A and B are shown apart, each in its own frame.
Chain A
Amino acid sequence: MTSLLAVLIDGSIYASWLFLVAAGLTVIYGVMRILNMAHGSFYAIGAYSAASLVGWYFNNGVGPAWISYLLLVGAALVAGLIVGVIVERGLLRLMYGRDEILMVIITYALLLILEDTMKIVWGVSPYFAYQPYSELGRTSLGLLKVSNYDLALVGVSALLGLGLWAWLERTNQGKVLRAMIHDREISVAMGVNVRLMFTITFVLGTTLGALAGALTAPAISVVPGIGIEVIVLAFAVVVIGGLGSIGGAAVGALLVGLSRAAAVHYAPEFELFVIYGVMSLVLAFRPEGLFGRTLARKI
């Protein structure tokens, strides 16, 4: 029973982290039809920025611990905004309208460039910013002690999901975006500033990626390569849920999170297998993913 509870809790925590990472990826694909391989790098940049800032804050004994949480979010917002604007305006804007496969290759190249750039900027030694994690303490859930930071992460993830849904479904900007997703050409004809909406969407996506990295930084060691690992998992999640679907990403994250937690607790040797096993199983029966839509091809 304790073990089952542990699986549910660990799985939910892992799922919330996966959703945080996958949300930005699926938003960008949904609106811009770009499979953004560089999303993992935005996650890593967020993690490095937050770990550096929080590390500096605590090493210099600057002030109370609660400020470190603001620093985490602040680092993510600044890093996401800056990198998002540079990449969208400086690179992707030159490539819009090209084949989706070409965009995958371009963003993959960007991923490699950013990975090496991060090594140049932050080096290869691990960064630790564990203080915000340990400061929040732990809560007893049955016989288990669960980190309050992890529980907070579940809450943040749920709020973020709701916020994204509300933004897309309940705001004018969201309606415009959905119109663009439905038919980009008609949207242009109706006077929608597509270029501006693309910039907003891409920067939102990169900021979500950076935020995921920043919020994860206190729980992990921030090392070279975390972006590459993350992007593979995030792709598995969005493919299971259906590319471009926020709800799908949430369900995909839950499926992957719970499966992995069950594997770690009951069959550790199958830990990696189950993630991709679940993905293969879903794609075998629903190639478009659980919540993906099959679109008629325009000729």
Chain B
Amino acid sequence: MEMRYRPVSGCITIIAATLILLTGKPAQAERFELGATPAEADAVVGCLYPMTGRSATYGRDSIVGIQIALDDLAAEAATGLPAPKLRIIADDPRSKASYAVRLAQDFITNDKVRFFCGIVSSGVAHAVSDLALREKIIMVGTDHASSRLSIEAGHEYYFRVTNDSWTSMAAGARYLRDLQKETGWRKLAFIGPDYDYGHVSWSDLQLALNELGVEYESVGELWPKLYEPDYSIYINALQSAKADIVVTALWGGDFIAFIKQAATTRFFETTRLANFDTGANYDVMMALGDQPYPGLILSARHHNNWPDTGRNKRFVTQFHEMTGRYPTYAAEGAYTGIMAIARAIEKAGSADDDRALIKALEGLQLALPEDPPGFASYIDPDTHQIVQAQAVGTVVHNEDFPPSKLMVGNWAIYDAEDLKPSKKMVKLRRDAVAGGSEAVPPPTP
């Protein structure tokens, strides 16, 4: 077949495509450098946060949280307090473990970092945590939440400073126990993303319910892939299972998509939907519009409207003044990470001695925006996981944080000490991985 070559239309296409690319915003990763110059820095911290893609909001909010922490440290230094000067380098791991490890390795080689911080994905965090142990770099995790990282895979160089899946599910289990007394619910189903965080969340919830002696019937567990755009088949399956309560570990856009799609069905007429770890994040509140779907039970790692303390109000207001918007929980997580590193350096006297820094971090107390009155978060010396209180509630009208018209209210507050995994539980889980004589008993509803 003879085909004549027509270069004109091809050229037009290429020119048009080039123009679109040139006039649009570049969708490329960006490296951020904040804080002290290399010459004056007491320590360099390499952070990994998503700057592009669907989780970019969390990365952007984390950078602002870091800036607030640096401002607080600078203000302390100005008054003569021994606040260290930190240099922060942040880059985008693009949700890929291999790429994150390469960036982290570059942080060590080129930037001479003493600490890693950040990381949203638990899977990526696992890989960087392994590198941290090999290279003897202290890692302060802020956003990922799989409890496996601090329990089964925990090591001396790994610390985490936001609620993990165990903390959130322990709070959730208590809420469900109290709700059962009120409503007599029996049937429970779970839907979570099909990766480490989702599976660990379900396992943590079952273990926490069993510890409390809550009697329930598990009527289904569903594992859509991360970033699944269509939940209709899962919603139908949950409705067929006639669950009284569905607990979910879907987060961010996935959780919003699930709610929006469930709202087109009769799901909320018959079933309560609980998300104890990420559900009350500010991006979810905004996406709900003015629809407080009945039966939503939510919590998150930080709330803009709880606790009602000066420290929390100041943090939220400061974020709003810097950006013109309200923060997702990622901001407070990143703030906490930098403050923990700074306090550890202060306590250790310098950033030079690994042993002194680890000792300083173990048991370190931090007064944080999310701490209720009379309590300061602290890092558990055994698991290296921060110990914090958690508030769970339902959706109420609240226009104090526009553009969101809804926030979580009707709080049930759970004490930090109650949410810590017991020493026995930690030992059982670690022994099970190590092939010890004891193993974690299988969850028996």
Separation of A237 and B221 alpha carbons in the complex (Å): 27
Is there a chain A Cβ closer than 8 Å to B320's Cβ?
Answer: no
Shortest Cβ gap from B299 to chain A (Å): 22
Separation of A222 and B256 alpha carbons in the complex (Å): 12
- Which residues of B are found within 8 Å of A144, using beta-carbon distances? 236, 239-240
Closest residue of chain B to A133 (Cβ to Cβ) is: B264
A220, B1: Cβ atoms closer than 8 Å: no
Encode A181-211 as 1/0 by CB contact (under 8 A) with B: 0001100100000110000000000000000
Q: Which of B1-48 contact A (CB under 8 A)?
A: 1-3, 5-7, 9-10, 12-14, 16-17, 20-21, 24-25, 27
Interface size on B, residues (CB 8 A): 48
B54, A223: Cβ atoms closer than 8 Å: yes
Q: Known: A93-B9, A268-B221. Contact between A145 and B253, CB under 8 A?
A: no
- Which residues of B are found within 8 Å of A87, using beta-carbon distances? 13
Is there a chain A Cβ closer than 8 Å to B355's Cβ?
Answer: no
A261, B229: Cβ atoms closer than 8 Å: no
Shortest Cβ gap from B278 to chain A (Å): 15
Is there a chain B Cβ closer than 8 Å to A29's Cβ?
Answer: no
- Which residues of A are found within 8 Å of B54, using beta-carbon distances? 124-126, 223-224
Separation of A271 and B239 alpha carbons in the complex (Å): 18
Encode A226-265 as 1/0 by CB contact (under 8 A) with B: 1001000000000000000000000000000000110011
Is there a chain A Cβ closer than 8 Å to B78's Cβ?
Answer: no
A229, B229: Cβ atoms closer than 8 Å: yes
Is there a chain A Cβ closer than 8 Å to B263's Cβ?
Answer: yes
Encode A78-95 as 1/0 by CB contact (under 8 A) with B: 000000001101110110
Closest residue of chain B to A88 (Cβ to Cβ) is: B9
A221, B256: Cβ atoms closer than 8 Å: yes
A126, B253: Cβ atoms closer than 8 Å: yes
Is there a chain A Cβ closer than 8 Å to B128's Cβ?
Answer: no
Separation of A223 and B252 alpha carbons in the complex (Å): 12
Is there a chain B Cβ closer than 8 Å to A117's Cβ?
Answer: yes
Select B10's contact among A6, A90, A124, A229, beta carbons within 8 Å. A90
Separation of A124 and B53 alpha carbons in the complex (Å): 6
- Which residues of B are found within 8 Å of A164, using beta-carbon distances? none
B9, A265: Cβ atoms closer than 8 Å: no
Give the 6 A-B residue pairs with the shortest CB-CB distance, closest first. Answer: A90-B13, A221-B257, A120-B24, A134-B264, A220-B229, A220-B230
Separation of A174 and B230 alpha carbons in the complex (Å): 35
Known interface pairs A94-B10, A223-B229; 5 further A-B residue pairs with C-beta atoms within 8 A, sorted by A's residue number = A3-B240, A93-B3, A96-B1, A185-B1, A223-B54
A91, B13: Cβ atoms closer than 8 Å: yes
Is there a chain B Cβ closer than 8 Å to A272's Cβ?
Answer: yes
Is there a chain A Cβ closer than 8 Å to B232's Cβ?
Answer: yes
Shortest Cβ gap from A13 to chain B (Å): 7
A220, B9: Cβ atoms closer than 8 Å: no
Closest residue of chain A to B252 (Cβ to Cβ) is: A126
13 contacts between A and B (CB under 8 A): A10-B236, A13-B232, A94-B6, A94-B7, A116-B27, A117-B17, A133-B264, A150-B232, A188-B2, A195-B3, A219-B230, A264-B233, A271-B224
A97, B225: Cβ atoms closer than 8 Å: no
Closest residue of chain A to B221 (Cβ to Cβ) is: A268
Shortest Cβ gap from A110 to chain B (Å): 10
Interface of A is mostly: helix
B52, A124: Cβ atoms closer than 8 Å: yes
Separation of A130 and B262 alpha carbons in the complex (Å): 10
Q: Which of B135-188 contact A (CB under 8 A)?
A: none
Q: Known: A93-B9, A150-B232, A225-B227. Contact between A130 and B264, CB under 8 A?
A: yes
B240, A120: Cβ atoms closer than 8 Å: no
Encode A284-297 as 1/0 by CB contact (under 8 A) with B: 00000000000000
Is there a chain B Cβ closer than 8 Å to A119's Cβ?
Answer: yes
Closest residue of chain A to B223 (Cβ to Cβ) is: A268
Is there a chain A Cβ closer than 8 Å to B325's Cβ?
Answer: no
Separation of A51 and B94 alpha carbons in the complex (Å): 26
Shortest Cβ gap from A262 to chain B (Å): 11
- Which residues of B are found within 8 Å of A42, using beta-carbon distances? none
Q: Known: A14-B233, A117-B20, A126-B257. Contact between A138 and B266, CB under 8 A?
A: yes
B263, A6: Cβ atoms closer than 8 Å: no
A224, B53: Cβ atoms closer than 8 Å: yes
Shortest Cβ gap from B327 to chain A (Å): 17
- Which residues of B are found within 8 Å of A147, using beta-carbon distances? 232, 264-265
Select B265's contact among A145, A184, A224, A269, beta carbons within 8 Å. A145
- Which residues of A are found within 8 Å of B356, using beta-carbon distances? none
Is there a chain A Cβ closer than 8 Å to B359's Cβ?
Answer: no
Separation of A87 and B13 alpha carbons in the complex (Å): 8
Pick from A119, A188, A264 the residue with the most CB of B within 10 Å: A264
